[in-house]
Every structure is written in structure tokens, then in C-alpha cells.
Structure 1
Amino acid sequence: MKTKEFSKTMVEEVSLELLLRHAVKAKHGLEKESMRVNPNGTLADTPHPDHLGSSLTNHYIKTDFAEPQLEYATHPRPRIEANIRELQDLHIYTIRKLNNELIWPFSMPPVLPEDENEIPLGQYGSSHSGKWKTIYRNGLGLRYGRRMQTISGVHYNFSFSNVFLKQFLQKEISKFTKEEISSLYLHVIRNFLRRVQYLTYLTGSSSVFDSTFLPNPGSLKFERHKKYTMYSPYATSLRMSEIGYTSKVQDTLGIHYNSLKEYVERMCYAVHTPNPDYIPFSEKADNQLNPNYLQIENEFYSPIRPKQVPKGDERPLDALLQRGIEYIEIRSLDIDPYSPVGVCRQNLAFTQLILLDSLLSISPSIDEEENSILKENLNKVIWEGRRPDLTIRVEDSEKNFQQAGAEYSESLRYYAKMLDRHTGRQTYQEAIDFQIKKWKNPDKTPSGKLLSEILKKDIEFRDKGMELARENRRTLSYLEYSPGTLTKIEKEATRSFHEKEQLEREESQTHYPTVKLCNH
């Protein structure tokens, strides 16, 4: 029997073998964004297809920032494979409804218009909530640029099962407190931030992009291939870099994960405090929701976020304060270009192992010094992760990154064996074997493989994208739905239109609610 130490809110000893028996019952959910494109690789200029339902109210298929930017969502499920199968069904349905359009296979966007204001914002109808969503997106475009917002990714939602929490906290489910559960998830989040650079190397696939995404790179150094392709030779995930989903403004907010109270207080400050640089955007009505540092909580960019499902018109921060953290959202995964649905089973299983290890390891608070080190480590890996001599800070010393990553991956082997024993499959050990190959050879990472293919074949990024998009369409067109899935998707599309129409008839004037529990 193994024991580990935990924070004060957690048990000091636990039967690891018994605990891992219940770890396989965790819940997984996926959200995946993808661009619709024309046969020539440009953004689709058509509205969100009616066959896919209402982008405002459909639970399975919505749109993200741009009108052609699809967003898929799966149900929380106890098996990763079930989530991938549901995502596959949604892709099959979409492919059969798109006519000549295709689904772009990369996180970095396809060919973009010269004027970024021609990138169409998501449109959600005439209801107040529909207009509100479009105004929010317009604000994002003003603050960060519309090009940046066209970058797509995968969000992996994860929660421990109640039976697991019962074993871990050694008390009945009815006696769980929101403080205990929230402390547990924040414990995981802090340790995940200490490990996210490994996941970025292993899953990053955005080292290369079309020049229309960044017409003026400024002081950033990229190499050019042929006429339209730009790349950074050793990069892993430019999606997570300063040209992607990071913000120097947000970095000044001091939003950390040492306690739920501290996190919510800083988020409340961000959603209620005007940023002088954003105030001019509000001179024109409906340019943005407000001039605050964050228009709403979802504007905050982070590799991982604590979540609670809001009820009715409840704000996410109120939901967190009222009921604590329900699950965590991992936001650091690029679209896998070598999967027809953009996700990889081995990568998701490995991510779960990281989360489990993050729970079963000591997780002290992160101070400003460590926070700076973690950001520097991640930034190094984002830009130079495949450089053989790259070093990062690990426990107060410099260490070769690929050696550190290989050692960390192998350290998860015990957990993988135990989980596989209880599932009767080899999912988790295969996931580790899959990642070890990448540590031995950086060219086997998605970022390395994609860049190598483009350079060796002497083709453009946009052409490689269309090649994969057509290949994925062929693959998906031959696949069959899971039993009962087609009827379910069609019913949801119909239901979503009825709900949207009802909202528009009611023409509710209720504005997005203020955060009731914040002291501001």
C-alpha cells in the first residue's frame, strides 16, 4: 500500500490501489472548434447551415467566434472512447450536410481575408441573448484582433466521480463540502500548471501557419516557406503563444489558483474594472459588452480553468461561489491534424494520467516567483520545444527538457498499469508508449511531423490543409453512425430552432446578469 501527503483539506493517507480502481470512473467531455472552408481553402462565406440546428441553442453543434467556426460539444461520459465516438458522429453528420464545404483540420486558420474585419462574426438571431453573443465577439475582435480569434482548439473537460471522491476524502458523498471539492480541484490545477509544458510538447501541432494569419509579424522571427507558409523551426504550439491565446493585459490581473476565494475575487475585479485602453471601444454602441478588463469570465485565457455549470441566467462566478468547482476545463490541446475528428485517444488518456498525478502529488501554493518560472518554461516549450538542447527549470535546477519530459512520462507508468488492470484494456500504457516515442524523436510530435511533411513535400500550409480536409471527408463519409445517433442529432437540431424562435418571440430585455456575490 502506498501513501502520499496532501494539503490540509485532504486525507493524509489513502489506499492507492483502491483509489485507482475508482479513478477509471471519471467523467470526460470534449469541446472542439473547426473552421468551415471553401474548396479553395478560404473561409466559408455561408451562414451556419440550417441542417446543423441553431448555433445559439443547439447543445451539440454551435459556432465559436466566427460564423464559419463550428464548435462541437459532447456529453460527459465515463470513457474517453465514448466521447471520441460521439464527436465522430457529429462530424459524420456535419460532413453529410456541408455540400462542397470542408472542415479545416488545423488549429491555425485557413486562408483569411486581407481585411480582418471581413472575418464574419458569429450570428445568433434577433433575441437579446443572440445579439449579446455577437456584441461580445465584436469586443474580442477589437481587443485581440479577429485573426487571432479564428485559431481553433480542443477543450477537454474532466471531473472525478463521486465514488472516487468518497474514497479519496474518506467520507460519505452527502458530507462533501464545496470547500473540500474546490480545494481538491485547485490542487490539481496548480500541479497541472507545473506539468503543462510536457503536454504542450506532446500535443502541440501549430508550428506553421498561412501568412494571411499574420501579415505583419513585427519583431517576431519566422521563416518563410514558398509564398504563403510561415513557421518557427522548433515551435510546438503557436496557438498558445503571444500570437495566439495569451494576453499581456490579462497577465497583469494576478489571477491565481491558490484558493477559490482569491480566484473569484480577482476575476470579479477583472469583470468589473474598466481598462483605460478598452474605454474608447465603447464610444460606439454595441462595440463591446463593456470596457472592463474582461467583458465576461470566459474571456480569460488560461491553459486550465475551474468550472461550475450555471443555473438559468446565473453568472459563472456566482455559480462557483454558490456551489464550488464541479469540473476543470483543459484548454491547452491543439487540434490533432492526423485524426479525422481532431482528437487523439492516446493524448486524452495521457492528459487524464497527468490530472491523476496532479492530484496524487503535493501541490503547494504558487507564489509570484514560481508563477514566473512556470510561464517562462511554457513559453520556452511553445517556441523551442523541439530543440534538442532546450533546458527548463525543474525543482530549482536547469534540466534538459526532453530528458525531463521522458522521465516524467515514465513516472506515470504505475498509474497506467493500475488503470488498465481495472478497465481490462491497455489504453493508458499505450498512451505512455505513444508519448515516449515523441520524447525520443521530436519529429514524431504533431508539430514536428506536420512541419517536416510540408517542407519535404515542398507544399504550402494551405495546400496541406486542403489535402487533409478532403481525406478526412472521404474517411468520415464511409463511416456509420452509432445506433440511434442520427435521430438524436436531428431531434436536437429541430428542438434548438424551436427554442431560438421562442426566445425571439419573447424578446426578453434581461441583460447579462451582474455578478451578485462579488464585492466590487
Structure 2
Amino acid sequence: MSEQFTRRIDGLSAPAQQGLFGRIRRGIEKEGLRVDSQGRIVATPHPHALGSKLTHPYITTDYSESLLEYITPVFSRPSDALAFLGDLHRYSYRYLGQELIWPSSMPAELDGNDSVPIADYGSSNVGTMKRVYRNGLDMRYGRIMQSIAGIHYNFSLPDELWTHLQEIDGQQDVSAQAFRSRAYFDLIRNFRRNSWVLMYLFGASPAVDRSFLEGRDAGLLPHGQQTLLSDTASTLRMSDLGYQNKVQSQLRICFNSLENYIGTLRHAIVTPWPAYEREGVEVDGQWRQLNANMLQIENEYYSDIRPKRVARHDETPTQAMESRGVEYIEVRCLDLNPFTPLGIDEQQIHFIDTFLVWCLLSPSPWINDEECDRLDDNRAHVVRSGRDASLKLSFAQGDRPLAECLEEIFDAMAPIAELMDSADDDGAHQQALAGLRELIHHPEKTPAGRMHQQMRDSGSDFVTWSLERAREHAQWFAETPMDPARDTLLDQLVETSHQQQRETEESDDIDFSTFLQRYFEHARRLKVNNGAQ
């Protein structure tokens, strides 16, 4: 245990006993495909009764018209975030008819690329931009990759913690904004060193339907009639079968500082890529992509974690961080857990919070190119072979067994869990650590391991198995009550969101080409506030 780590733990002891960690803020974004009663992706429009997917704050779509996305407000209590997420499901099921919400990260049965309908956000310039961006994703990566679903977990620490931590570190001569941004990047670097922990513990995608791979076997084993299965994978979603981009792999996005991170992203957004140039941007009056650059916009960059700040209406995400620093981080490597109706539960949230605070408080040297390559290799090994008891991870000092590494990390997290529980009697963070520790030497008890075993024992195909879970979840939502006030709120938001979309469409006074030109001209402007660097 380093001197810095011990000093921070000791310095935060008194504030923790006063409830400091009870003010952690979190929000959950959950995706889920709409499917029919046979487990096939549907092509029906997003239900009008759920509101406008362009303007509704909580119910929208991700890439596809069929890919629901739920966004909770920010809460301090995990139970409140989960309750809100549950009510978004209950409200949706009221208008889904015979459709179900797919419980797995890897998609339901598909019928080729065109069976994944691109989301339509209406005729406004903003809505058209969303559509054209998705056209570009289709052209670059295909729609099938975009049908994968997951959980995004947004996490921020209370202002009081940053004040205490800055004093403990003796950094009062640095602006609060700069200190916070640097510390969040410290967290991010340690997360990237250890994100494989979350992929091992919570990965839940060891199987795919054959339709996803369109005739390829990808080194997986045939199972049942329509399934390809891995005996060792933790999360195929995070493997090269899931989100991948050979162009992006050349970017070497740097997480050593906010300035470097923004600079690398901005370079990618303005740098043309020959293959994309050959496809064209606007061809015969049809927009194929927003531009022919390495990234169309910042959101196209895939990563297991991102620094974030809520942007104002006249800002891009990076401009918001340039101006006011990092506000929160977004964890993006979490599979849907098909064993729970919400795809995530309180134990997992308490563990993730403990893990993120450990990443923050632990020493976090900058990552050089050699270490970056090792980290990529370690993640790749865990996502494909995490349940292989003989798996070893690579470090500068040599290779080490995965289980040994996990034991060491759980031990290092123990004082963090104790610190975070010091104001409560329930010991939720320590219980989460204890409950998940048994998975270290029992990969068959991880979600991926349980899913693999159940499919093996029953002989069920992936679609059949997932469809059974979807029906169980739908029944649970039907039998559990919805908060009446939230029901009323969601009713109100339906009409409000449709009205907002109409007003957006009516207020446009320039054509889309001019709108896009102005957007990118504005996006290239620097909005640096020295306190953010």
C-alpha cells in the first residue's frame, strides 16, 4: 500500500464518517432491443406513446429504431436509480403490445444488415444530423455491430470530496477545476489498467446467434441449431466481434491529460480517411455520412470509459470539458446482466463505486505506449478467455495468473469499501466485495459462466434461452407496482416531447448543408478556460 494511498484514506476518514460517500452521484443508461414473441428483432417504429425519441429526457433510442435506450436522472442512492429505471420499463411495456425487451447484450435473431432499422429522429436539422451520423456508422462498421446493447454507468464524486482531497494532496495552489480534471484522468488511467476486472466479474455474453456473424464461426463452437458458444469468454460484446474499429485503433487516444485527450480526438475529427473519402459524403442528394474523417463526431470514438461534462446547447462535448473541466466519468464496458430484469443490481453498483474510488485514490502514473499495448492485450485475453483457469495477464514484471491478480485487487479495495461504509450500518460496499470474491476462483458462477452452463445443460440455443429470460422479466415488471407520481410525469413528458420536436422542426431557418457547415466550423473553435487544464 503506497504512502499516497494511505494518506488519502486517513485524510478522508472523518469526512467519510459524516456521510461523504453517501453523496456520490450516479446515473444509468440502459439499452435493450425490442423483439417479437419469437426472439427476432422488430422493424416497428419506436412507439409514439413513449414520446419523441429526439427530445424525451428518459426514453429514447440508440443506433437503431429497435434499440430502446433508458436514461435515468442522477441519484445519490443506488436504489433510487434502479427504481426509476424499473418504472421506465413498466411504462414502456404498457405500449409494446406483444413485443419484449431483449435481456442480453448480444442481439436477438437478425436477418442481415438491413434488418437493423436506423433510428429516425424527424425532419429537423438536429434530427437529420442524428440520422446521417448513423448512416455513416452503417457505412463504416455495418448495422449489425450497432445492434449490441449494454449498460453505461455515469459516476461523479461530491464537491466536498474534491475539496478534502485537494487539501490532503497539498494542491491548494492549483485551481479546483484543474485539480478535479487531473484527478478524474488519474481515475481513468487506473480504470484502463484494471477494467478487465469488471469484464470478468460482470461479463455476460459468451454466446451469439449465428445470424450475428453472417456465416463466420469466429473461433466459436457450434451449439444447438443456431448458436455459437465460447467455453471461456466473459464478454464477446467487448471482443473483436463487438465494438471494433481498425481506424480508431490507430488513434492511440491518450488519457494522460485532458489536453492530450481532447487534442487527439480533435485531430481525428478533422483528419480525412481515404476509405471514407472514396464512399463520399453527399452523393446524388443523399447523405452517406457527416464527413469523411477518421471520426465523424466525438461520440464515434469507442472506449471502455470516457471523461464527460454536460454540454450547453452551443458546445460539443470536448468544448464543454475545455471550458469547465471534467464533470463525471462514463463506464461503458458493462454487459446487460440477463439474470436480473434491470440488467444491473445494487451489488454490482456498490462494487463498481468501490472500484472507481479505488482507481481514484491509488497512484496513477502516466501510461506509455508499451504499457498501453499490454493493457489492450490483457483486456483482449479476458474478454475471450476470462473463464479459462490457466489464463495469465501480462505486466512489466512478467506474467501473472488472473486469479492471483484478482485476489490482490480485492485486498487493495478492502480499505476503500470500509471507508465508504463508515457512515452506514449496512456495510453494502464490503458486502459487495465479499459476495463477489467467490467468483475469483469460480468462473462458472460469473454471469457468463452461469449462462454458459445453463445453455449447455438445457441444450437451449442462445435466442431460446434469452427469450425465456425476456418473458420472465416482462412478467416481473407486470407484477411489480409503478410509482404513481412517476407514471404521471412520464404521461406528461410524452406530449411535451412531441411538442418540443414539432417546435424544433418549425424553427429551422437554414438548410441541412448550411447547418452542418456551421456546426463543424463552431466545433473547431477552442473554448479553453485555463482552469480546466
TM over 0.5: yes
User: In structure 1, what is the equivalent of residue 258 of structure 2?
Assistant: 260
Shift of 1:345: 1.6
| C-alpha distance in 2 between matches for 1:60 and 1:499 | 14
| Other structure's SS at 2:208 match | strand
Amino acid at match of 1:151: I
Inter-CA distance 482–421: structure 2 relative to 1 (3 Å threshold): farther
Deviations 1:432-459 (A, max 9, x none): 1221121121111011111111111011
Could you list the runs of 5+ residues in structure 2 that have no partner in the other structure?
528-533
| C-alpha distance in 2 between matches for 1:13 and 1:399 | 28
Shift of 1:13: 8.7
Structure 1 residue 144 corresponds to structure 2 residue 141: yes
| C-alpha distance in 2 between matches for 1:13 and 1:97 | 49
Moved more, 36-45 or 403-412: 403-412
| C-alpha distance in 2 between matches for 1:380 and 1:361 | 24
* RMSD across aligned positions (CA): 2.0
Amino acid at match of 2:49: H
| Other structure's SS at 2:280 match | helix
Shift of 1:176: 4.5
Q: Say whether the 8 Å CA contact 1:46–1:68 is kept in structure 2.
A: yes
| Other structure's SS at 1:212 match | helix
| Other structure's SS at 1:57 match | coil
Could you list the runs of 5+ residues in structure 1 that have no partner in the other structure?
none
| Other structure's SS at 1:438 match | coil
Q: Say whether the 8 Å CA contact 2:12–2:165 is kept in structure 1.
A: no
Structure 1 residue ranges, 4+ long, deviating more than 4 angstroms after superposition: 11-14, 171-176
Q: Say whether the 8 Å CA contact 2:8–2:361 is kept in structure 1.
A: no
User: In structure 1, what is the equivalent of residue 120 of structure 2?
Assistant: 123
Q: Please point out which of 99, 102, 120 is paired with 2:100.
A: 102
Q: Say whether the 8 Å CA contact 2:187–2:364 is kept in structure 1.
A: yes
User: In structure 2, what is the equivalent of residue 410 of structure 1?
Assistant: 411
Structure 1 residue 154 corresponds to structure 2 residue 162: no
Identity %: 35
User: In structure 1, what is the equivalent of residue 177 of structure 2?
Assistant: 178
Amino acid at match of 2:122: G
Q: Say whether the 8 Å CA contact 1:246–1:302 is kept in structure 2.
A: no
Shift of 1:427: 1.6
Q: Please point out which of 4, 14, 26 is paired with 1:18.
A: 14
Shift of 1:232: 1.7
| Other structure's SS at 2:421 match | helix
Amino acid at match of 1:516: R
User: In structure 1, what is the equivalent of residue 222 of structure 2?
Assistant: 224
Structure 1 residue 269 corresponds to structure 2 residue 267: yes
Q: Say whether the 8 Å CA contact 2:166–2:172 is kept in structure 1.
A: no
| Other structure's SS at 2:523 match | coil
The alignment's TM-score, normalised by the length of structure 1, stands at: 0.95
Q: Say whether the 8 Å CA contact 1:108–1:206 is kept in structure 2.
A: yes
Amino acid at match of 1:201: Y
Moved more, 296-305 or 169-178: 169-178
Shift of 1:421: 2.8
Q: Say whether the 8 Å CA contact 1:36–1:70 is kept in structure 2.
A: yes
Inter-CA distance 3–391: structure 2 relative to 1 (3 Å threshold): closer
Amino acid at match of 2:411: E
| Other structure's SS at 1:328 match | strand
Q: Say whether the 8 Å CA contact 1:265–1:518 is kept in structure 2.
A: no
The alignment's TM-score, normalised by the length of structure 2, stands at: 0.92
Q: Say whether the 8 Å CA contact 1:235–1:383 is kept in structure 2.
A: yes
Shift of 1:279: 1.1
Q: Say whether the 8 Å CA contact 1:64–1:122 is kept in structure 2.
A: yes
| C-alpha distance in 2 between matches for 1:107 and 1:28 | 21
Amino acid at match of 1:515: A
Shift of 1:205: 0.4
Q: Say whether the 8 Å CA contact 1:36–1:68 is kept in structure 2.
A: yes
| C-alpha distance in 2 between matches for 1:12 and 1:445 | 32
Mapping 1:111-510, distance limit 5 Å: 111-113=109-111, 115-170=112-167, 176-217=175-216, 220-282=218-280, 284=283, 285-394=286-395, 396-509=397-510, 510=515
| C-alpha distance in 2 between matches for 1:269 and 1:395 | 30
